[in-house]
Structure 1
Amino acid sequence: MSPRKSVAEARRTRDRILEHGIAIASVDGLDGLTIGRLATDLGMSKAGVLGHFGTKEALQLAALDGAAAIFSRTVWAPAEHRPPGLARLRAVCEAWITYLETDRDTFPGGCLFTTAAVEFDARSGPVRDAVGRLLRVWRRRLAAEVRTAVAEGELPAGTDAEQLVYELGGLYLALNQELQLFGAPGAAERTRRGLDRLLGPGAPADPALTSRAS
């Protein structure tokens, strides 16, 4: 086997481990992401799994980074072509709903970051720090769109961007709970009504952002 082919095969194996690990973590938390379980599920040796990550903590951190990349690709990328400000913010919010409603294969237990935040909020260490860092990055991105919307006159002058982002986060925490714990069929529509209260009445959802839900 050539060195190039060997590296590519190692990357595919690592990606396969991470993909399964992210699915497990969304259901059982990052503590449920054990080397032994992954090895058994994937028909690998423990040494084979460890060879890609070294430690359980490194695996947990890699799972968080992998989930963040999926989230960005699923929620941010479909909306990034929209004009900055309210149009992009609304598109992001719609894609966020679709992500929580439909990404059951990738995240069978719902949003991994919601699970991880509850699991690690009272702890200390690199994993807790990584969860907080990723969530803060997302909040800053949303707040930037809010500030642009205010500057463009799309939201009222004096709108507190951090407060609005705080309330948006509450809507999506509620949506994740409604879908995961209660299986509520009307949860997405309730979320959209909440968005209208926070952002003002919006145009009908773009089919390009909701097609994954059909």
Structure 2
Amino acid sequence: MRFLVVSKGQDTKTAILDEAVGLASRVGFNALTIGQLAESTGMSKSGLFAHFKSKEALQLETLERGRERFTDLVIRPTLAAPRGIARVRALTDNWLVWETGALQGGCVFVAGSIEFDDQPGAMRDALVRNQRDWAEFIETVARTAVSEGDFHSDLDVEQFAFRLQGLLYAFHHMVRLLRDPKAPHHLRAGLDQLVESARA
């Protein structure tokens, strides 16, 4: 057992949720419990229960904390990149940092989507909102590339986002399940082909 260390400027609940995000990445949301989180943080179950009144509340707040971290690691750095194709590539690069460096078990949204795709309820609804927001963000980045003249004017940005998401999720599958060392090469090659097909 280890004890939770709260850094200066970080409140206790945020630190707890960061630990929970890491756990959800490794074991999934369904296996994420207050008891397991207590063991991981060195806190008491009663202390954690004061923060989260139920397993579902813990899951939802963990997902929301994951969204905040995703925004910091992927969304904001992508928006800071130059508009156009450079921003499309930055989006992919930043997602790779999230997938391979931020969390030991990879993207919690991919993991959660697999767990809850057929389970109606608050978690599924929250995951749907997150995934729709992500798809819309990709579409916006592609639309910006159109307005910059990098992509052709009649590009179907919805289809572009669909194809790019397919590449990212295939990478997750190849790395996490298949442990395929060629996954980065296949992702880069797929992105190059997608960008070339969209060029003005």
Question: One fold, TM greater than 0.5?
Answer: yes
Map 1:94-105; keep pairs closer than 5 Å: 94-103=93-102
Match of 2:111 in 1: 115
Greater RCO (CA < 8 Å, at least 6 residues apart):
1
Whole-Å separation in 2 of the counterparts to 1:132 and 1:116: 10
Q: What's the secondary structure of 1:163's corresponding residue? A: helix
| Aligned twin of 2:143 | 147
Q: CA deviation at 1:163?
A: 0.6
Paired with 2:96 and 2:44, the residues of 1 have a C-alpha distance of 38
Deviations 1:7-46, CA, capped at 9 Å, x for gaps:
x99x632122212211111122111110111112222221
User: 1:164 matched to which residue of 2?
Assistant: 160
Structure 1 length-normalised TM? 0.82
How far the C-alpha of 1:182 sits from its partner, in A, is 2.0
AA at the equivalent of 2:188: R
Distance 1:149 1:42 in 2: 44
Letter in 2 for 1:118: I
Structure 2: give runs of 5+ residues left out of the alignment. 1-6
Partner of residue 51, structure 2:
52
Aligned residue for 2:191, secondary structure, equals helix
The corresponding residue for 2:131 is 135
Q: Please state whether the residue corresponding to 2:177 is helix, strand or coil.
A: helix
Deviations 1:126-152 (A, max 9, x none): 110000101111111110111121233
Q: Distance in 1 between matches of 2:84 and 2:122?
A: 33
Q: How many pairs align?
A: 190
| 1:185 match | 181
Matched with 1:15 is 14
Is the CA contact (8 Å cut-off) linking 1:97 and 1:188 kept in structure 2?
Answer: no
What amino acid sits opposite 1:168 in the alignment? L
Within 2, Cα distance between the matches of 1:151 and 1:50?
A: 50
Q: CA deviation at 1:184?
A: 1.9
Contact 2:143 2:157 in 1 (8 A): yes
2:34 is the counterpart of 1:35: yes
Asked if the contact 1:110–1:176 (Cα under 8 Å) also holds between the matched residues in 2, the reply is yes
One-letter identity of the residue aligned with 1:142: I
Unmatched segments (≥5 aa) in structure 1:
1-7, 202-214
Displacement after TM superposition at 1:102 (Å): 2.2
Instruction: Provide the C-alpha distance between the structure 2 equivalents of 1:44 and 1:19, rounded to a whole number of angstroms.
Output: 14
Give the structure 2 partner of residue 206 of structure 1: none
TM-score w.r.t. structure 2 length? 0.88
